[in-house]
Amino acid sequence: MPLTRWLAEYAWLPDHAEPTADVLIEAEDGRITAVTPLVGGGAPATGVEVLRDAVRLPGLTLPGLANAHSHAFHRALRGRTHGGRGDFWTWRDRMYDVAARLDPDSYLALARAAYAEMALAGITCVGEFHYLHHGPDGQPYADPNAMSAALVEAAAHAGIRLTLLDACYLTATVDGAPLAGPQRRFGDGDALRWAERVGAFRPENDHTRVGAAIHSVRAVPADQLATVANLADRAGVPLHVHLSEQPAENDACRALHGCTPTRLLADHGVLGPGTTAVHATHPTSADLALLGESRTGICLCPTTERDLADGIGPARQMAEAGSPLSLGSDSHAVVDLFEEARAVELDERLRTRRRGHFSPVELLTAATVAGHAALGWADAGRLAVGDRADLVTVRLDSARTAGVPPVGAFFAATAADVSHVVVDGRVVVADGRHLTVDVPAELRAAIGEVTA
């Protein structure tokens, strides 16, 4: 890949409290090779002539955003679950209806469109929490990883990187009720057979990494948690787990095991710096200490947590306890990492009735470098020499951002303000349009197929 230069009107550089004006960014073979602020707003140290070849990026250029928690097929539910009262559990029934209808071809189409929507929103890497493994009757496809392969192909078409977090899902409840109905296609029988299937899947490309997931303490019996954790640890891959999303999960775990889900995971070796707990909406103070002391990351998904009436997790306490925070769009009620980021701050304001819990840099970190790290891409999420050349440019002249200082973009911009996206040095979005996918048309077609 030849040398490429971009001239950013503003760029948010590592260890800077606010964006820097007039920055020349150079990349070759998908890696950033130079980051040069212009001298006094004039010529770069390397000479004026280099600017002639530079692609100009009006607005604020950020590192690529990382969506650390996605269920791609949930995109089909947007706008379809708001017709009455209910809670997470009634929403889940609607989700199972969609899950029952997907096959590798329809999943490829839906995920391709969903991932392309993410690219339009400035997301350069997604963590797909994947448990839709087998056929509707629970029987494996001829290729037991056909659904995984569909997701890998979808991400390639959309132009973003993928961490496939293959989820172990064995039981329906904390006390071990068997999988039934649409849930049957999630299960592999036991953790060893899950590990065998996951171990056989080795996509040969440079945009995918395969990680592991424990769906929840509802879905993996206590005596099999360590099997999943040990596989992830030996392979050196990320391990993610849904944790304490609902009070009912906490209550059921206490009734059976005499402890919280967090304590159960700790006792079976699941927590640690390679693990990310998703949601953690209802932790005890002891849970927060366990998560923080073990350096377990926490992925917050505020737009889904509010859409499902899950509650508001104690984000500031999580960070102060020592847990790195990342962000996810989860059910894709909204695909907008700017909204997820500011919701972390704004939800804390609602919870505490005080303002000013997170700085813009902390929110940017959660949306970028921390998210990439949680997905196993430690070389992404910063505009720094040696890192992957992921650039996301946000307009500062839209109706939402006009007159807003660049440092305030996280509290003003939306996904609709993303104008330019580069992933590993390749342009994926230009002038607000995806270069290879007609996103609205493909979303309509793919969703129509599984909801008709």
Query: Per the residue annotation, which of 69, 215, 242, 279 is the catalytic one?
Result: 279
* Partners of 243 in the β-ladder: 279
Return the closest-CA partner of residue 444 out of 129, 134, 164, 109: 109
C-alpha–C-alpha distance, residues 190 and 200, integer Å:
16
Structure tokens at 215: 């769906």
Helix/strand/coil percent split, the chain, to 5: 40, 20, 40
Length of the chain: 452
Burial of 194 (0-12, 13-18, 19+ CB in 10 A): buried
Residue 5 and residue 53 in contact, taking contact as beta carbons nearer than 8 Å: yes
Active site residue 336: no
Task: Give every strand in the sheet of 55-63, ordered side by side.
Answer: 31-37, 20-28, 4-11, 55-63, 391-394, 418-423, 426-430, 433-434
Using alpha carbons, list the distances in angstroms from residue 46 to 9, 36, 199, 336, 362.
Answer: 18, 9, 48, 37, 32
Residue 24 three-state SS: strand
Active site residue 279: yes
C-alpha–C-alpha distance, residues 110 and 394, integer Å:
26
Residue 363 and residue 342 in contact, taking contact as beta carbons nearer than 8 Å: yes
Task: Give every strand in the sheet of 239-243, ordered side by side.
Answer: 65-70, 123-130, 161-168, 208-214, 239-243, 275-279, 297-300, 325-327
Query: Per the residue annotation, which of 330, 336, 417, 424 is the catalytic one?
Result: 330
Dihedral (CA of 214, 156, 4, 327) sign = negative
Return the active site residues: 279, 330
